[in-house]
Amino acid sequence: MQKISRRQFLGYSMKTGAATLFTGILAPSASSFFGYGGVAAAATKKITPFTFAVLTDAHLYDIADHKFDKFLEKAVADVNSLNPLPDLLLYAGDIGQSGKEAELKKGKKILDKLKMPYKVIPGEHDYYLDMGAAWRGLFGDEHWSIDHKGVHIIGMNSILVPDFWSMAGLTPKERMGRMEELECHRCGLWGVGDKQLEWLEKDVKKLSPDTPVVIMTHSPLWSYYPRWNFQTYDAPEILSTLSKFEKVIAIHGHVHQVVYNQMGNVTSAGLLSTSWPWPYPPVDLPYPAIKMNRVDPGDFEDGLGSHQVSLGGDFAGEINYRAFSDLLPENVRRGVKL
């Protein structure tokens, strides 16, 4: 498939007749024609076009009829209503708030209403009460890979911090309490750790460079704002392992906001939560045009949403942020190219 630059792309899509030409090649949704973003690398092996959905950061509390329950339910209903129905759903972590099994069970019960299969990775809020025991019991492996219609999809646990609790004599609940604070004083930076790096190395070893790859982690694979762990300390190693591929799409939770970056062959997109939005940290965005608006604190659904990702035959991707309220500037509402 020949590479289409952003400029050419706009040029073509403005010609009326060209629309039909693109339907097959790109994604099934009409909004594909107006995709916005950097110029993603073109791929690779031909795949069967498909869509998948993404949800993240529900932060459910062990409190009956909590407002966050309804937001996750709403996101699940939204994804179920999509036409075409996404082939699968990826969930990018932080189902619970305080790592309690009851929170995770509540989340699983809601996610089980999905009409498509789903895959999950842990976030720090799911993990630090029992070091992931309850999570693993409910959702299985913390890292995994699947192959779907020619795309290799990887999920990894990126929230592993060095032990800060043993020396300090913290109880599991205290440890979780510290991790619950985004600006956790002295929790340290997190990453996937050596074992998962080795696993990743093996996992992609046999794949040819033209294989389309999607990777999901809880935190971004670039150094965005380390103080809030908007980073993964061993992301450089991950990116180096994935550097052999022509094109990789990376999606991540944790930031509760629209954010976008490109690192060589990797295009990265951050996701909306279904709990609360975060303001942008005090650093420059690499792609300042791809962001969300300020949020109305009186509208509890503002800043939240679900996502649909469309992949075309040449692995041209697009993410559609499906915000619950009027949150997105026009360019982002039209979809962001991945």
Q: Is 281 in the site for another protein (CB under 8 A)?
A: yes
**Calpha distance 185→14 (Å, rounded):** 52
Identify whether the C-beta of residue 153 lies closer than 8 Å to the C-beta of residue 120: no
Nearer to another protein, 207 or 285 (CB): 285
Angle, vertex CA 145, rays to CA 53 and CA 143, nearest 5: 95
- Name the binder of 94 from another protein, Fe ion, ligand HEC, none, CB < 5-8 A by kind: Fe ion
Identify whether the C-beta of residue 255 lies closer than 8 Å to the C-beta of residue 292: no
Contact characters 89-108, Fe ion, x per CB under 5 A: -----x--------------
Identify whether the C-beta of residue 147 lies closer than 8 Å to the C-beta of residue 48: no
- The residue from 228, 236, 286, 329 that contacts another protein (CB under 8 A) is 228
Q: Is 284 in the site for another protein (CB under 8 A)?
A: no
- The residue from 9, 61, 321, 324 that contacts another protein (CB under 8 A) is 61
Closest CA to 110 of 64, 63, 59, 74: 74
Q: Is 254 in the site for Fe ion (CB under 5 A)?
A: yes
CB atoms within 10 A of CB 326: 10
- Name the binder of 67 from Fe ion, ligand HEC, another protein, none, CB < 5-8 A by kind: another protein
Enter the DSSP assignment of 131: T
Terminal-to-terminal C-alpha distance of the chain: 16
Nearer to ligand HEC, 212 or 270 (CB): 270
- Name the binder of 123 from another protein, Fe ion, ligand HEC, none, CB < 5-8 A by kind: Fe ion
User: Quick one: which segment of 114-122, 158-166, 258-266, 291-299 binds ligand HEC (CB under 6 A)?
Assistant: 291-299
Say if strands 305-311 and 317-323 run parallel, antiparallel, or are unpaired: antiparallel
Query: Would you tell me which residues interact with another protein (CB under 8 A)?
Result: 59, 61, 63, 66-67, 97, 180-189, 226-228, 275-283, 294, 297-298, 300
